[in-house]
Amino acid sequence: MNAVADLRAVLQTTLLILLVAVTPTALAAQSDEVVLTDGSVLQVNVRRVATVDGARQLTYRGPDGKTRTLAPANVESYHLEGGDRHFRTVEVSLPDPETGRITRQRRFGEVLASGDVELVKVALSVSEYPAEAADSRPYLYLLRRDDVELVLKLTSIRVYDRPHANPSRFRNLLKFFVGDCYTATELARDARFYDSDILQVIDAYAGCGAGREVALDRNRLSGTLEIEHHVRASYLDSRDGDFSDQQFSAGLGYQASTHFVDRFRWLSILASVDYIYQSFRWQEASDVQQTMLRGNLSVGFIPLDIPGVRLQVTGGLSNYNALTSSFRSFFSNNYFLLNGGLTVDHGNFRLSLQYEHLPGQIQRRPGSQLLTSLGYRLRW
């Protein structure tokens, strides 16, 4: 028993070391461009972090392999390779986290539209926007044309003693900005505080003026669909007596999850595939070893999504297929289980706990098991 426990500990540690070691190597293949305030250009690998942290500082890995950090005061702009995302330094008036006084601060913002009209999105921390208000958003927009610059942000209003986000002010500013274009003005009246809605107003405004040139990501006009990729290590704990005696089950896998950044942001779809090694004592008589290929398709509900942290409640179906097994029955080596669980994202890490069950356990098939996994997000 001690030998089995020692082997289990060694394999678990090895899986986590491989997970951490392989991920930076995959990221190192990317090359991002950073333009400094003195005009010099760096070809580096920008570290992807939580959105609000990325607004305050730029962390990158240089050609020498060392990690360094730059403040917005030292950077003019930077471009992420492979994602066609462009960021630049802007100045915004925000409350100081210590004194609460409004001060001018330099931040990194994502350029959503450029040309004759520019739209820059700046992420905010919890203390910088009315987070307690229902439907509030952790960001603001800078909207520019020639010498005109407007700050679009959500204010709050109390409805039945509860704070709610109030879109009236940003809509009025948006209507003022596009006031000489009837189509854009009508869109601005009902615009929501999302990338897609505001970009639709800008796109309509650009079409009104002859010679007015605006470049924007047209995929965002209908609401951005974001796909996240994770590699992960997992541990499978069988809750059935026939499979739980002296068991050890661990795996490595990949998971892709899709969710909308704007509308339907509470909905996600997750698909994963895992290679799992299992060993256990079968009916206190024989030792069984097998390798399984596990697939899963789930639908997720996102009740919490704040800067740096996201919580998902998932439900779906898992399929197991044995690659090698001591069981010779096809029905023992290929089966489905209902799946439900919780997933927590913090920065680049994802912790997932999933319970799998099928009523009426069939001989030589597990009926209840718990899958715990730790994933790391790949930034492509």
**Mean of the per-residue pLDDT values of the chain:** 83
- Measured between its terminal Cα atoms, the distance across the chain in Å is 43
Q: Which of 51, 208, 213 is nearest to 126 (CA)?
A: 51
Q: Which residues of 135-170 are buried (b: 16+ CB within 10 A; e: fewer)?
A: ebbbbbbbbbbeeeeeebbbebeeeeeebbbbbeeb
Q: Which residue would you say has higher pLDDT here, 84 or 337?
A: 337
d(CA 191, CA 201): 8
Q: What are the residues whose beta carbons fall under 8 Å from the beta carbon of 67, sequence distance 6 or more?
A: 47, 59, 60, 61
Label residue 119 by pLDDT band (50, 70, 90): very high
Total length of the chain: 380
What is the structure's pLDDT at 28?
43
What is the structure's pLDDT at 14?
47
> Tens digit of pLDDT for each residue in 26-62?
444 457 889 999 989 998 888 866 676 778 888 888 8
Q: Which of 43, 45, 83 is nearest to 229 (CA)?
A: 83
Q: Which two tokens stand for residue 89?
A: 């330094």
What is the structure's pLDDT at 18?
45
Q: What is the pTM of this model?
A: 0.60
User: What percentage of the chain's residues is helix, strand, coil (to nearest 5)?
Assistant: 20, 50, 25
Q: Which two tokens stand for residue 301?
A: 């509900």
E strand segments, 307-362: 309-325, 334-346, 349-357
Report the percentage of the chain scoring pLDDT > 90: 40
Report the percentage of the chain scoring pLDDT > 70: 85
> Tens digit of pLDDT for each residue in 175-187?
999 998 999 999 9
The DSSP secondary structure of 168-229, one letter per residue, reads HHHHHHHHHHTTT-HHHHHHHHT--SSHHHHHHHHHHHHHHSTT--EEE-GGGGG--EEEEE
Does the structure show a pLDDT above 70 at 20? no
Q: What is the average pLDDT across 300-322? A: 87
Q: What is the average pLDDT across 228-232? A: 93
**DSSP-derived 3-state class of residue 170:** helix
> Tens digit of pLDDT for each residue in 323-376?
988 877 777 788 899 999 999 998 789 999 999 998 876 767 787 899 999 999
